[in-house]
Amino acid sequence: MIRLLIADDEKLEREALAELVQRRFEREVVLEMAENGRKAADTAVLWNADLILMDIEMPGMSGLDAARAVLAQRPSCRVIFVTAYSLFQYAHEAVHLGACDYLLKPVDPDELEASVRRAIRQIQTERKLEELAAAQPQPQPEPPAAGEEAEESPEEGENSQAALIMAHVRRYLEDNYMFDLSLDSVGEILHISPAYLSAQFKKYQKMNFLDCLTELRINAAKELLADPFRSSAEVASMVGYEDASYFARAFKKRTGMTPTQYRRQAGQKAKSDPEAEL
């Protein structure tokens, strides 16, 4: 079960979110609620929350400060900000903190469900990675001396396990590309060295770890650039790049165009082929 905390200083808002979550995730989550930022931070840490639906403007401690306090102690916790404020500064800080999403009130039920489901999948994938890491084969004993009966080679089973782990690493990247990922951070989850992870990923996924991560980010950026109201800097933050200039260089290297050129070309194509949008 996923431990989901709802933090909002408005009682009606808390109850509405709780009712929606219970209705759509009845057998998947257990709920707890907090009426201010300080209680949210304390509850999340003491209760070991997996996911928080966090308001931003709350008395005493803001949702941003509460999230910062929680993530300092529970970096694996996921946060979805649910707020009435569309200020770019808030959204930028939320992305910088590693928030899963930033939803505006009044929240669309389907949009909230989709956001929560993405977060749950991220949590479950990370848990699976940790389980697979714990189940990795232990070092094998020395081969038997001459004349002794040899046991069946474990190499095939080990290869199958390694392939399964790397497939889950790929899925982990697909679910978390928007966060600050690296060989070091994923290797830490699996308790293996970055160099070994790099070699195993390339062996079983037929591409480099960084190339895979970059491809996922650029493909997501292409979809986001279709929205003319999103700046390139905002898109960069949403797909995992803190530096908009670096994002522009990476995008051009992959596509042959800058984000602005790609957006212009995509817009022209949509106008010349209106049925493509249907």
Q: Are residues 191 and 107 in the same domain?
A: no
Label the pairing between strands 78-83 and 51-54: parallel
Inter-axis angle of helices 244-255 and 259-272, to 10 degrees?
50
Q: Are residues 172 and 86 in the same domain?
A: no
Residue 265 lies in a domain: yes
Determine the pLDDT at residue 266: 83
Q: Are residues 79 and 183 in the same domain?
A: no
* Contact criterion met (CB below 8 Å) for 54 and 66: yes
* Contact criterion met (CB below 8 Å) for 197 and 183: yes
Give, in degrees to the nearest 5, the angle at Cα 197 between 141 and 178.
150
Take residue 21 and report the two structure tokens written for it. Answer: 């979550």
The CATH number linked to 219 is 1.10.10.60
Residue 107 lies in a domain: yes
This prediction's pTM: 0.70
- 257 burial level (CB within 10 Å; 0-12, 13-18, 19+): middle
Coarse DSSP helix, strand, coil percentages of the chain, rounded to the nearest 5 percent: 60, 10, 30
Q: Are residues 111 and 7 in the same domain?
A: yes
Element (H, E) at 30: strand 29-34
Determine the pLDDT at residue 198: 94
* Contact criterion met (CB below 8 Å) for 161 and 135: yes
Q: How far apart are CA 77 and CA 98, in angstroms?
A: 10
Q: Are residues 181 and 80 in the same domain?
A: no
Determine the pLDDT at residue 157: 58
* Contact criterion met (CB below 8 Å) for 237 and 92: yes
Residue 179 lies in a domain: yes
Domain count, the chain: 2
Q: How far apart are CA 179 and CA 175, in angstroms?
A: 9
Q: Are residues 108 and 206 in the same domain?
A: no
Residue 278 lies in a domain: no
The CATH number linked to 59 is 3.40.50.2300
Q: Are residues 109 and 164 in the same domain?
A: no
The residue among 91, 116, 141 that closes a domain is 116
Query: Does residue 144 come out as left (phi exceeding 0), alpha (psi in the -120 to 50 range) or beta?
Result: beta
Number of other CB atoms surrounding residue 278 within 10 Å: 4
Residue 133 lies in a domain: no
Determine the pLDDT at residue 125: 87
Residue 59 lies in a domain: yes
Take residue 132 and report the two structure tokens written for it. Answer: 């697979």
Q: Are residues 107 and 171 in the same domain?
A: no
Segments forming the whole domain that contains residue 71: 2-116
Give, in degrees to the nearest 5, the angle at Cα 209 between 204 and 211.
115
Q: Are residues 112 and 162 in the same domain?
A: no
List the chain pLDDT tens, one digit each, 278 residues. Answer: 999 999 999 999 999 999 999 999 989 999 999 999 999 999 999 999 999 999 999 988 999 999 999 999 998 899 999 988 777 677 778 877 888 888 999 999 999 999 999 999 889 888 888 888 777 654 444 455 555 554 445 455 567 888 989 999 999 999 889 888 999 989 888 888 999 999 999 999 999 999 999 999 999 999 999 988 888 998 998 899 989 999 999 999 999 999 999 998 887 877 776 555 54
